[in-house]
Structures are given as C-alpha cells and as structure tokens.
Amino acid sequence: RTGSDAPAGEASRGRRLAESAARVIPGGVNSATRYIGEPYAFVSADGAYVTDADGRRYLDYHAAFGAMVLGHNAPVVNDAVRAAVDGPGLIGLGVSELEVELARRVVEVIPSAESAISTMSGTEATFQAVRLARAVTGRPYIVKFQGGFHGSHDAVARNVISAPERAYGRDPLSKGILDPALDATLIAEFNDLASVRTLLDRHPGQVAAVIMEPIPHNVGALVPTQEFVEGLRALTAETGTVLIFDEVITGFRHALGGYQEVCGVTPDLTTFGKGMANGVPIGGLAGRRDLMEHFNHTGGDVLLAGTFNGSPISSAAAIATIDHLRANPDFYERTHALGQRMRDGLSAIVADLGIDATAAGFGGVFALYFAKGPIRGYRDLMRNDNSAYVAFHRRMTEAGYLMLPMALKRNHISGAHTAEEIDATLSAAADVLAGMRK
Ligand code: PLP
C-alpha cells in the first residue's frame, strides 16, 4: 500500500531538505538527473518500495537509475558489505582477496571476459575502454549511437537525448569539452548497420571502437535485431575495430552473462556498473586478454590507476550480488515474466483507450513511448510526445508509483517486485491514461 503519513497542510520536510541542499550543493543534487521535483528527497528504501522525506511510500520502478537489481537494501548484499567493513580491514594496498574473487566470477560468468578490472563507476569503466581501444589500434575515432549514454567523460558525452534539430549533429552534454574530443566521436543510428558502415568507410583505418549499449536503455528500450548485432560484430572484426558492449544497465540484469549471453554475440570489451553491486558504487571492464594486458603495469602501455579501484566494500557487494543471482537462476525467469506482464498490460490499456503509445522493453525493463510503433531506432523516438510522458509520470507519482521522470527513459522491475504489484501498477496506469485522454 502506498500513501502519505504526513499531516495535511504541514510544510513539506522534503521541500525544506531540497532548499537547504540548494544552499550548499549547486542545484541541490550531486548528479544532474537526480532532481525530480516533488518528491524531493527520500529517506528510506526497502525491497520494491522507497519512502520520501514526508513519509509517503512509493512502489519504485526508478531503482536508482537501475542500480537495484535484487531490490533496495537486499540483505545478502548488506550482510556482505558489513562483513567487509568489520572484516580484515579496508586495506586498498597490494591485492585483496575480495577483488580477486570478484574478477574470477566476472571471468566465469561473462562470455567475453578473459580478464577483468574494477573501477568505481560506469563512467570510469567506459573511459578506460575507449582509451584502451585507442591505444591498441592507434586510431583516433570512436563511433557511438545517437541516444546511447556511456557516462560523463569527454569521449562519450554527446548526442544522448537530443532535440530533433541537434540529433545526429554535434550535441555535447556539457560545455568545457574540447572540440577535437567532440569531433573524434562519430554518431550512428541504432539498428542501422549501414549508418555504421558509412562512418567506417568515411574514416578508413581510423576508427578505434564502436561503443554501444546492447539495448539503449538510456532512451527506453531499443531492442537490437539479431541481424544488427551480428552485422556489427562482423563489420568491426573485418575493419580491426574494437567492439565495446556497454552493459552498465543490461549486465547482470537481463542475464547473468549480460545481453551478450542473450544474443550470443561476443564483444571485445564489456563495461559494467550499476546493478553489478546492487547499489554499492562500482564499475568494471572485462574482455579479451590480449587487449586487457595493455593495462599490465609491467610491459603494458595503458595507465590504469584509481585509489578505490577494487574496493573491498564494492567487491564484497558485487560478489554477493553475483553469487545470489547464480544461486537463484529463477530470478531471470521471474523478472522477465513480470516485465512481459507489464508490457502486455500497458499495450492492452493503450489499445483499449485508442492512445498512440507503445510499450517496449526487455526482461524486467519496460518503457512507455507516446508514439505509435514500431520503435526500432532513435529516428522513431523523435515522434515521441514527451509532454504526454511527463504528464503520465507526474500522475503516476501522485498515485504512488515512482518511475524515471524523463521521457524516453526506462523503468526497472527488481527481484523484490511481485505480480500483484505489477497488476496494481497496471490498474493505476489505466486510470491515469484514461484521465489523460479526457
Ligand atoms: N553506461 C551506461 C549505459 C549508463 O547508463 C551509465 C549511467 O547511467 C553509465 C555508463 C555511467 O555510469 P556511472 O553513472 O556509474 O558513471
């Protein structure tokens, strides 16, 4: 049950917290997309639910941008973190048992992983992947897809959700990125192999890597055709280009071995983050040993450095998450079935109401686009009615269901959600969508 315990008319504690945050933190948040307006602040989380600063409980599909795979505050992960804190001491010097155990598991479960490193965030993982690809190929350019997000560093911080007039053009996420860095990143269309081929032909022998979210969840869920991923693998192999799967969202969430296990296509490098440690800060990079050996401090030529890389706390949390998923393979069956139930339910509702909307997704991830399908690539997303999504989101939040606030983003079903909760969400969505049509 969701609902507010805050006495009516009392000044919102969340708003007061947001106001004091804005006095000491620029904009009041430590990451731009954290700001969601009301509810401003959250004070606790448990399983599939979060509670805001005014005591209102929400069924949570935001999942901290997908960092929660098992659900909030999963006891197996919390116990492992506590044991790491209370255990041999947080050394960060030499090699720790926990970081070795984590790398061993990554190599065991990820099809393309022969060797693995840990970082503290997904941004650092994709930064290292791009630098490594440039180092091993000696080439300057990389290709990313319009709509793909790979973190905030200069090589990838462009062309995510772009206004139509800036899509495929030069759309930096930030000022302060040097022009040569922006120009060294080429933009292709997802699910369109010819767009990648054109860029590789235009810059023969000059493209170091193609980096992709196997399912670009940063614009909801563009599911790749098998032909596209296989074609990309063949094209990159043929041209000596490094293929990087950014599995920061898809990794451990859609299958233990990531989306590469699902599609059977093996990238050269894979990046991880978010759900890997169920909410404890982490990132990771794994891949072909001959590439990864360039990080070897003896004889390698690519710098790998980070005081907190391989952190015992993060490693312990990731080991616990992976071991839990390995011991409970029905996690994937369950979350995939719940995701399908949500997508089927949403599809039926919008069909009944005659609304031009499309339920998309994969596994436990779902998105609702306010555009007629099929939605295959970013070009199709430019038809999305963003204001309809924003209205849908606002009303769902008021009804007690928390989703990502930005149009074109995805939502997450964790191991803690139940079929009853999916059905309650569908019933609320039916009311909200019917109300929007009026
Ligand atoms: N890659 C993808 C696919 C992401 O969605 C994100 C974060 O949203 C990142 C990389 C960056 O990860 P982090 O926020 O941990 O730096």
Is CATH 3.30.910.10 correct for 13-73+329-437? no
Identify whether the C-beta of residue 267 lies closer than 8 Å to the C-beta of residue 244.
yes
CA dihedral 253, 256, 259, 262 (to 10 degrees): -120
Q: Which atom of ligand 1 is nearest to the CA of 213?
A: 3
What are the tokens at 264?
A: 């059977």
pLDDT digit string, tens, across residues 237-283: 999 999 999 999 999 999 999 999 999 999 999 999 999 999 999 99
pLDDT (average), residues 295-316: 96
Identify whether the C-beta of residue 388 lies closer than 8 Å to the C-beta of residue 436.
yes
Closest to 376 (Cα-Cα) out of 216, 263, 160, 254: 216
Q: How many CB atoms lie within 10 A of CB 107?
A: 15
pLDDT digit string, tens, across residues 400-436: 999 998 889 899 999 999 999 999 999 999 999 999 9
Task: Break the chain into its structural domains and give their ranges.
Answer: 13-73+329-437, 75-327
Residue nearest (by alpha carbon) to ligand 1 atom 13: 122
Identify whether the C-beta of residue 214 lies closer than 8 Å to the C-beta of residue 231.
no
Q: Which atom of ligand 1 is nearest to the CA of 65?
A: 8
pLDDT digit string, tens, across residues 56-115: 999 999 999 999 999 999 999 999 999 999 987 777 788 999 999 999 999 999 999 999
Identify whether the C-beta of residue 98 lies closer than 8 Å to the C-beta of residue 319.
yes
Starting at the edge strand found earlier in the chain, the sheet holding 358-362 runs 358-362, 365-369, 411-412
Q: Which atom of ligand 1 is nearest to the CA of 273?
A: 15
- Topology of domain 75-327, CATH: Aspartate Aminotransferase; domain 2 (3.40.640)
pLDDT digit string, tens, across residues 167-178: 999 999 999 999
- Predicted local distance difference test score (pLDDT) of residue 170: 95
Identify whether the C-beta of residue 98 lies closer than 8 Å to the C-beta of residue 315.
yes
Q: Is cis: bond before 140, omega within 30 of 0?
A: no
Q: How many CB atoms lie within 10 A of CB 337?
A: 16
- Do 13-73+329-437 and 75-327 have matching folds? no
* Complex ipTM value: 0.99
What are the tokens at 94?
A: 């030499």
CA 197 to chain centroid? 26
Residue nearest (by alpha carbon) to ligand 1 atom 7: 151
Write phi, then psi, for 436 (nearest 5 degrees): -70, -25
Distance from the CA of 336 to the center of ligand 1, in angstroms? 22
Question: Token match 């050394």: residue?
Answer: 91
Identify whether the C-beta of residue 242 lies closer than 8 Å to the C-beta of residue 255.
no
Amino acid at 354: G
What span, in angstroms and rounded, lies between the C-alpha atoms of 417 and 343? 15
Question: Which residues does 104 contact at the CB level (< 8 Å), separation at least 6?
Answer: none
Amino acid at 129: A
**Residues flanking ligand 1, CB < 6 Å:** 65, 121-123, 126, 149-151, 213, 218, 246, 248-249, 273, 283
Amino acid at 320: A
The helix-helix angle for 312-327 and 330-353 (nearest 10°) equals 80
9 pLDDT more than 60:
no
What are the tokens at 378?
A: 């970013």
Q: Which atom of ligand 1 is nearest to the CA of 250?
A: 3
Distance from the CA of 45 to the center of ligand 1, in angstroms? 22
Residue nearest (by alpha carbon) to ligand 1 atom 12: 122
Distance from the CA of 144 to the center of ligand 1, in angstroms? 14
Q: Which atom of ligand 1 is nearest to the CA of 281?
A: 15
